[in-house]
Amino acid sequence: MSDSGLSLTASRPVSGGMNLLASGSATTWATIVVLVLLPLILSGSWTFSLAVCFANSIGVLSVSVLLRYGGEVSIGHGFFAAIGAYSVGILETRYGLSLYFSLPVALALGVLLGVAFAWPSRNLSGIHLAVTTMALALAVPELINNADHLTGGYEGLYVSHPVVPGVKMSYQRYYVALLALIAVTYAVARLRHSRQGMALLLAKSHPAAADAFGTRRVWARISVMGISGGIAALCGSMLAFAGSTVSPSGYTLWTSIFLLVGSVVSFYGLSLLRALIGGAFLTLVPQFLSASGAWIPVLYGIALLSMILIGHYLPKLREGILGRHGGRK
Amino acid sequence: MSGFVEACLSLARDLFPLIWSGVIIGCLYALGALGLVMIYKSSKVVNFSHGNVAGFAAFLVYGFSSGVLLELSWGSAVLLAIISVIIIAFMTYAIISPLVFSSDLTATIGTLGIGLIAQGATLLIFGADIVSLDLPVPRFSMSVLGLRMTGYDLTVLSVAIVTIGALFFVIDYTKLGIAFRAISQNPFAAEVCGLNLRSIHFFAWIVAAVLGVVGALLIVPTTFLSVTTVATFMLQAFAAAVIGGFASLPGSLVGGLLIGILMNLFTFYVSPEFSSTFLLGVILLALNLFPSGILEKVGGSRV
């Protein structure tokens, strides 16, 4: 109904960086090795922010998956992240359950609610869906605050249950988040080669052809939202575990907008490195600018605009240069 | 029997003031929604920066009139703020116009960036404090058929009627309005006929910016002015535009009034704490029941 999809996604083949992890590319393995060894060199505060950065990278991936496979923009993924974070927080503080139990619950809830949101919005696309996801994000803080007997209201919850008893908590926060990020990146890379992934991509680019092959548009939309919601819930549970606190101020409309900013800054990439760039942008920029908080939205805004403009002009520029070379021959 | 009559009476006693104040606030939502729809109709972009830019303008009026930046009379402060907002609209469109013609969704994400910058600029210049900004409205209140009307109510109503009336007049009867309608119907054919798409887009962006400022200035006296006040208010305007189908000016007017009244009734009778959730429900319901707007006639498929 509304448009031709994002220019970036339309003009770039989806593979490229995506099968890096699956094919065991050198860069990805080198990144993983560096990240595994990093806590041995860095101080505690750095490992803490890096762990939060991994969690944010997962969130960036969830937005990028929706964009790549569904062709839709969401500014409501803070909702799913909040679901994940609060499942971990509530299961631990109220029922004393550790991440082994709460992580699958968070994932399942994220998928379920993604599907539950996708069903009433199945016929929306483009800007209509974006506005609806915005309304979804806006409803999060008041839902959290009104369920304060469970969620702790404004004060939030504290997450400190170890996953492996006896190991230093700061290491656990770091490595669990890293492991989750690698697992999600791997799963997303596998999705690209699976029948399901192909069907979703076909449904996005050629809905009529997909329909003929038996992939309904509504089914594609609902499963993409389910996958994306599940990944976002994992992001939330990692934010809760790595950041050790869960509070409503972490899941406002801004969270959702920032996740989109991260996705745009990473050029909607699904590889480990790209996701890390997006996550680092969301985590490390506020840290560097903590003294002057007002510059953060300005910088994010400028980064968002410039990445979009680069994405718009780069293919044309490349074409122009290639064209000139062709002419010389 | 008498209990039932009493219940009916109390319902009527509550209901009319609630509907009246819903209509007043709904006029403001409609002003915001009209701006969004003007931009969407011409350039197919949803302007997520609308609220933040309008909020920035309200802060500019405060800054120009209170001595923070300048010490001007209220009227000239408003004029200066409107001029600045028109410049901002001009720059915004200049930045995202290359995107508008390739992908409306990318351009829509771009407006989020503009909104972030406007929000940050407000924080940088005016800080995160809450300020009070008053309108020079006549202060009186009168009772009509048991309904209490204040000077503020009547000001909002008359400003909204004049602004919206002027807008509809321009769109229905002037050459500019005809060009605007032509472009929103079929941009390609309009361009073939010699219309300049960009200048009509500019017209829409500027009108939207001015409508946003008017709405922002009128909403501020009901609360106080902070960085998020106007942005929050604009979210209701988004809902109003969605109910109207996002592409219909009269639809967004009806949507604004409807949202104003429904929100008022909901907060009074059900719960003031779940208003955003209610808004989400209304948007989802409206989009499923009337996918192309509440005023859209049934018949003919829209592809």
CATH assignment of the domain containing A135: 1.10.3470
**Rounded-to-integer distance, Cα A249 and Cα A108, Å:** 24
Give A261's contacts in chain B (Cβ within 8 Å): 112-113, 116
Check B113 against A311: CB less than 8 A apart: no
Check A308 against B110: CB less than 8 A apart: yes
pLDDT at A299 > cutoff 70: yes
Single-letter code of the amino acid located at B213: V
Residue with the larger pLDDT of the pair B177 and A231: A231
**Rounded-to-integer distance, Cα A136 and Cα A118, Å:** 12
Do residue A274 and residue A327 come from a single domain?
no
Please report, in tens digits, the pLDDT of each residue of chain B (303 residues total): 567 777 777 777 778 888 888 899 899 999 999 999 988 888 888 888 888 899 899 888 888 887 777 777 888 888 988 999 999 999 888 888 888 777 777 888 888 889 889 988 888 888 778 887 777 777 777 777 667 778 888 888 898 999 999 989 988 888 888 888 888 888 888 888 888 888 888 889 999 999 999 988 888 877 778 877 777 788 888 888 888 887 888 888 999 999 999 988 898 888 888 888 888 888 888 887 877 767 765 444 443
Overall pTM > 0.90: no
Q: Which residue of B has its CA nearest to A253?
A: B232
Check A308 against B274: CB less than 8 A apart: no
ipTM: 0.80
Predicted confidence at residue A22, as pLDDT, reads: 46
Cβ of A285 under 8 Å from any chain B Cβ?
Answer: no
Residue with the larger pLDDT of the pair A12 and A245: A245
Our CA-based measurement puts residue A45 at a distance from the nearest CA of chain B, in whole angstroms, of: 27
Do residue A232 and residue A303 come from a single domain?
no
Contact A51, A69 (CB under 8 A): no
Do residue A197 and residue A324 come from a single domain?
no
Residue among A1, A12, A79, A128 with most chain B CBs within 10 A, to mutate: A128
The reply to whether A183 falls in a domain is yes
Q: Who contacts A214 (Cβ-Cβ below 8 Å, separation ≥6)?
A: none
Check A134 against B238: CB less than 8 A apart: yes
Give B266's contacts in chain A (Cβ within 8 Å): none
Predicted confidence at residue B296, as pLDDT, reads: 65
Query: Phi and psi dihedrals of B28, rounded to 5?
Result: -70, -40
Geometric angle at alpha carbon A74, from A73 and A76, rounded to 5°: 170
Residue where one domain finishes, among candidates A265, A283, A301:
A283
Q: Who contacts B135 (Cβ-Cβ below 8 Å, separation ≥6)?
A: B152, B155, B217, B218, B220, B221
CA gyration radius, chain A = 20
Give A10's contacts in chain B (Cβ within 8 Å): 103
Cβ of A208 under 8 Å from any chain B Cβ?
Answer: no
Give B95's contacts in chain A (Cβ within 8 Å): 305, 309
Give B273's contacts in chain A (Cβ within 8 Å): 142, 145-146
Predicted confidence at residue A212, as pLDDT, reads: 84
**Rounded-to-integer distance, Cα A100 and Cα B93, Å:** 50
Predicted confidence at residue A147, as pLDDT, reads: 81
Predicted confidence at residue B162, as pLDDT, reads: 92
Do residue A34 and residue A82 come from a single domain?
yes
Which contacts (CB < 8 Å, 24+ apart) does range A25-28 have? A27/A273, A28/A271, A28/A272, A28/A273
The reply to whether A249 falls in a domain is yes
The reply to whether A228 falls in a domain is yes
Do residue A34 and residue A79 come from a single domain?
yes
H or E element: which one contains B233?
helix B229-243
Cβ of A295 under 8 Å from any chain B Cβ?
Answer: yes
Predicted confidence at residue A58, as pLDDT, reads: 93
- Sign of the C-alpha dihedral computed for residues A278, A283, A288 and A293 taken in this order: positive
CB atoms within 10 A of CB A12: 18
**Rounded-to-integer distance, Cα B257 and Cα A324, Å:** 58
* CATH number, span B21-289: 1.10.3470
Do residue A20 and residue A161 come from a single domain?
yes
Give A122's contacts in chain B (Cβ within 8 Å): none
Size (chain A), residues: 329
CA separation (Å) from B45 to A3, A261, B36, B192? 11, 18, 9, 22
Q: Which residue of B has its CA nearest to A141?
A: B276
Q: Which residue of B has its CA nearest to A133?
A: B280
Check B276 against A134: CB less than 8 A apart: no
The position carrying tokens 């915001």 is B32
- Sign of the C-alpha dihedral computed for residues A208, A213, A219 and A220 taken in this order: negative
**Rounded-to-integer distance, Cα A242 and Cα A54, Å:** 9
Contact A85, A240 (CB under 8 A): yes
Average confidence score pLDDT of chain A = 82
Do residue A132 and residue A240 come from a single domain?
yes
pLDDT at A5 > cutoff 60: no
Per-residue pLDDT tens over the stretch B31-79:
999 999 988 888 888 888 888 899 899 888 888 887 777 777 888 888 9
Per-residue pLDDT tens over the stretch A61-81:
999 999 888 888 888 899 999
pLDDT at A116 > cutoff 70: yes
The position carrying tokens 């018949």 is B299
Q: Who contacts A111 (Cβ-Cβ below 8 Å, separation ≥6)?
A: A226, A227, A229, A230, A233
CA diameter of chain A:
73
The reply to whether A1 falls in a domain is no
**Rounded-to-integer distance, Cα B266 and Cα B282, Å:** 11
In chain A, what percentage of residues exceed pLDDT 90? 19
**Rounded-to-integer distance, Cα B5 and Cα B284, Å:** 36
Our CA-based measurement puts residue B19 at a distance from the nearest CA of chain A, in whole angstroms, of: 24
pLDDT at A163 > cutoff 80: no
Q: What is the domain range of residue A146? A: 7-283
Q: Which residue of A has its CA nearest to B46?
A: A127
Geometric angle at alpha carbon B30, from B170 and B271, rounded to 5°: 175
Our CA-based measurement puts residue A161 at a distance from the nearest CA of chain B, in whole angstroms, of: 32
Do residue A247 and residue A315 come from a single domain?
no
Number of domains in chain A: 2
pLDDT at A314 > cutoff 50: yes
Give the domain ranges of chain B.
21-289
Predicted confidence at residue A24, as pLDDT, reads: 58
| CB proximity under 8 Å: A 225-284 to B | 257, 260-261, 264
Do residue A133 and residue A260 come from a single domain?
yes
**Rounded-to-integer distance, Cα A131 and Cα B242, Å:** 8
Average pLDDT over residues A83-110: 89
**Rounded-to-integer distance, Cα A318 and Cα A241, Å:** 43
DSSP letters spanning A32-51: HHHHHHHHHHS-HHHHHHHH
The reply to whether A2 falls in a domain is no
Give A141's contacts in chain B (Cβ within 8 Å): 276
